[in-house]
Amino acid sequence: MKPSSRITLAASVLLVLLLVASAFALHHLDQMGSRVQLDEAFYVMSPKLAQRLSLGYDGLLADVYWTWAVQYFGARHVARATHYELLGPLLEIATTLDPHLTIAYQFGGNFLAPSPPDGAGMPRQAIRLTEYGIRNNPSDWRLYYNLGFIYYMELKDYAQAADAFGRGAQVPGAHPFLRVMAAQMAQHAGELQMAKMMWTIAYQSTQDRDIRENAASHLLALQVEEDITNLEKLVALYRERTGHRPSSFSELEASGMLRAVPLDPLGQPYKLTPEGQVVVQEPERFPFLGKGL
Amino acid sequence: MSSRIVHIASNTFREAVRDHVLYNLIAFALLMSGAAILVGQISIGIERLVVVNLGLAAVSLFGVVIAIFIGIGLVSKEIEKRTLYTVLSRPVERWEFIVGKFLGLAGTLVVNTAFMAIGVFAALLYVSRAFDRADVWVLVALYLIVLQFLMITAIALLFSSFSSPLLSAVFAFSLFVVGSFAEDLRGFAAMVPGLSRWLAMGAAYLVPNFSSLNVITSVAHEQPITRQFILSGSLYALLYTGMALCGAVLIFERRNLK
């Protein structure tokens, strides 16, 4: 072997060895926990400072902050966390950097508003964020819809929800349901129907795959809840007529109160417990289900 | 245009290509394809926004770095290698040398930007599946970025005509940063009274106002750019570039090259 080839071989082997060794050293360093946590680093970043430091590339930095917000929420959500201290600041920085980043208002509000473990449990902060979004994007009717949604779902504030839907209905090109919702909200309409209407609008008014999947899951859960409510009414009626609970849906079918064993929206038969409760067979397939578990 | 300027410009372009300047396109291609494929998986609803924001920011930053680091060496390298004396011993005016160098580097940046634009549109097509009418504003943003390159190239050449490469790089990059804060400088001028106001206002008009030519975030949201804005921006950039080139020519004409 020529001397130059020997050097090439030795340098190549050394390079690989040192690369692997440096990776191990870094891993060891990580475990010592001496590095500044990202969480702490975010605290010193004010929205205005971030805007100055962006050197005009504020749109790109807003995308980065929005992605951080999504990752932060996702990681905490999976861990069933009850505190989301940095979610608000991350969303504030993202939307200050790019006030037209409407996706951050739409999803950010839904991250902030619901109670843990579904969200951060900060509906007031969600309302502030959405109002800021409306001020900067007054012609986007979805933001009024989101605002009404938060008032209705999280705060049960029918007057404010009606006001938000009403304002949204006046925006040119708004979904026609907004006017109906404003009216029904003013009358404190049935919650299940209202919720179905809201998730239907969420499903119809976007092309985003994630938003559609989320809305479809909610609609499935609402359908199950509606089915269960109706089936439990039938069970109660059967008990009233016969004096005992039915042991299965076949008894209801034999009595002529049902045509067949009822199926959930995914095609699985509902189950009747000995206590007379109706449940789904595979609750994990309905992530937002509040009944029938 | 004099054929001597064209020769100097084409030699400058060839030299930049020989120096592997266009290798930055590989990094750019990796960045764009990575962004187009990965962002959809780690974020929500911003695939197109990221492609436009990241693509145009990368075009801008890569171009500014090339303009500064090649621009600062345009004169000093020729002096160091003593090739400048060969050129100037022929019937070539000093101003022709400066203008030729400027046009050569500007041409390099335009070609580089054209390739990057293809990358941006390919990534857009990947994430959106089809082109949209609003995508034409991305072309407008690219045009305005090229105007910024002309300004920064002229500025780098200006510093290169009298200073060392290291100092020229520091001066040019500092001016790029200050120019990105030009709007804040105006805001500051509006807040202070008396002489300070005039000094701050003067500085705000003297430094290159890059932020006024930056429409990246607007086009990412598919907001149209008016024809009036494009014309005014073009006029401003060309006037400022001309001014910086005149400064470079003035200094270089009087520089003692012995």
CA distance A102 to A93: 14
DSSP code for A248: S
CA distance B230 to A236: 73
Q: What are the tens digits of pLDDT across the range B148-200?
A: 999 999 999 999 888 888 898 999 999 988 888 877 788 788 888 888 888 88
The alpha carbon of residue A208 is apart from the nearest alpha carbon of chain B, in Å, by 6
Fold of the domain spanning A39-215 = 1.25.40
CB contact under 8 A, A107 and B184: no
Residue ranges of alpha helices (H) inside B43-93 are 47-71, 73-80, 83-89
CB contact under 8 A, A100 and B53: no
CB contact under 8 A, B211 and A67: no
Residues of A in contact with B212 (CB under 8 A): none
| Of residues B66, B85, B69, B83, the one with CA closest to residue B27 | B66
3-class DSSP state of A187: coil
Q: What are the tens digits of pLDDT across the range A205-231?
A: 776 677 778 778 888 888 888 888 888
How high is the ipTM of this complex? 0.75
Is the model's pLDDT at B108 over the cut of 90?
A: yes
Residues 208-267 of A with CB under 8 A from B: 208, 210-211
Residues of A in contact with B50 (CB under 8 A): 60, 63
CB contact under 8 A, B181 and A52: yes
How many folded domains does chain B comprise? 1
Parse chain A into domains and list their residue ranges: 39-215, 223-285
Nearest CA in chain A to B214: A56
Nearest CA in chain A to B52: A60
The alpha carbon of residue A154 is apart from the nearest alpha carbon of chain B, in Å, by 23
A193: Cβ contacts below 8 Å, ≥ 6 apart:
A184
User: Is residue A166 within 8 Å of A181, Cβ to Cβ?
Assistant: no
Q: What are the tens digits of pLDDT across the range A65-124?
A: 998 899 889 888 888 888 888 899 999 999 999 999 999 999 999 899 988 878 899 999
B45: Cβ contacts below 8 Å, ≥ 6 apart:
A103, A106, A107, A208, A210, A211
**Which of A55, A60, A70 faces B44 most closely, judged by CB atoms?**
A70
Structure tokens at A27: 């891993």
Residues of A in contact with B49 (CB under 8 A): 59, 63, 101
H or E element at residue A272? strand A271-272
| pLDDT class of A237 with cuts at 50, 70, 90 | confident
Question: What are the φ and ψ backbone dihedral angles of A279, each rounded to 5 degrees?
Answer: -130, 160
**Which of B44, B210, B216 faces A59 most closely, judged by CB atoms?**
B216
Output b/e per residue, B13-40; b: 16+ Cβ within 10 A.
bebbeeeebeebbeebbebbeebbeebb
Query: What is the pLDDT at residue A179?
Result: 76
This prediction has a pTM of 0.72
Query: What is the pLDDT at residue A133?
Result: 96
Residue A279 Cα distances to A256, B120, B257, angstroms: 21, 52, 92
Q: What are the tens digits of pLDDT across the range A129-144?
A: 999 999 999 999 999 9
Query: What is the pLDDT at residue A33?
Result: 56
Q: What are the tens digits of pLDDT across the range A22-77?
A: 877 777 766 765 454 545 455 546 777 777 777 788 888 899 899 889 988 988 88
| Structural domain for B229, as ranges | 3-254
User: Is residue B204 within 8 Å of B190, Cβ to Cβ?
Assistant: no
Span between the terminal Cα atoms of chain B, in Å: 29
| Chain B positions touching chain A (beta carbons under 8 Å) | 39, 42-46, 49-50, 52-54, 57, 60-61, 177, 180-181, 184, 210-211, 214, 216-217, 220-221, 223
Largest CA distance in chain B: 62
Average pLDDT, chain A: 82
DSSP code for A140: -
Residues of B in contact with A106 (CB under 8 A): 45
Query: What is the pLDDT at residue A123?
Result: 93
